């Protein structure tokens, strides 16, 4: 791609950006409660709808296909690899196998952790039930102490 093609401004992309920015400003106006929020939404969404309609008919140029096999002949047939390249491939395959084994071990550890957390959840539920019972008993004791206090107050 030439330098001039990279720097060319695409009008459809420009309109996408303008429409999206108007919608976002309209949303900000709506959240803050400022005037013209509805109008900005209508304008922004209308611009976006028109752009989507136009982009449906946009014709794309096919990108050029490169024949990488001419630059790298080993891409055609892996048997043309040299001994150094074959050794590199073997090392890479071993590294991938080792990585896969470690991932499997990590998955197993994660499953064990998940199971222990699940059993901890049921223990927390039991503990929560006991705490609730204690709270109810303390509340009942507090009511009885208040009643007893009232009776002692009447004796004076």
For residue 6, CA distances in Å to 1, 18, 60, 61 come to: 7, 21, 16, 14
Summarize pLDDT for 108-126 with one digit per residue, the tens. 888 888 887 777 767 777 7
Q: Is the pLDDT assigned to residue 37 strictly greater than 70?
A: yes
Distance between CA atoms of 38 and 109, rounded to whole angstroms? 53
Distance between CA atoms of 1 and 27, rounded to whole angstroms? 38
| Contact (Cβ atoms closer than 8 angstroms) between residue 26 and residue 40 | yes
| Contact (Cβ atoms closer than 8 angstroms) between residue 89 and residue 97 | no
Q: Which helix (H) or strand (E) element contains residue 43?
A: helix 37-55
Summarize pLDDT for 128-149 with one digit per residue, the tens. 888 888 888 888 888 888 888 8
């Amino acid at each position: 791609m030439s330098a001039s093609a990279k720097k060319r401004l695409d009008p459809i992309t420009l309109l996408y950006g303008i429409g999206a920015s108007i919608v976002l400003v309209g949303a900000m106006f709506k959240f803050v409660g400022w005037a013209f929020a509805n109008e900005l939404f209508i304008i922004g969404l209308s611009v976006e709808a028109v752009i989507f309609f136009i982009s449906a008919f946009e014709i794309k140029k096919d990108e050029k296909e490169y024949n990488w096999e001419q630059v790298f002949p080993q891409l055609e047939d892996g048997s043309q690899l040299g001994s150094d390249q074959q050794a590199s491939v073997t090392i890479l395959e071993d590294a991938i196998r080792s990585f896969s084994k470690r991932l499997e071990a990590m998955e197993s550890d994660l499953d064990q952790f998940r199971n222990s957390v699940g059993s901890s959840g049921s223990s927390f539920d039991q503990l929560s039930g006991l705490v609730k019972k204690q709270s109810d008993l303390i509340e009942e004791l507090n009511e009885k102490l208040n009643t007893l206090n009232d009776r002692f107050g009447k004796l004076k």
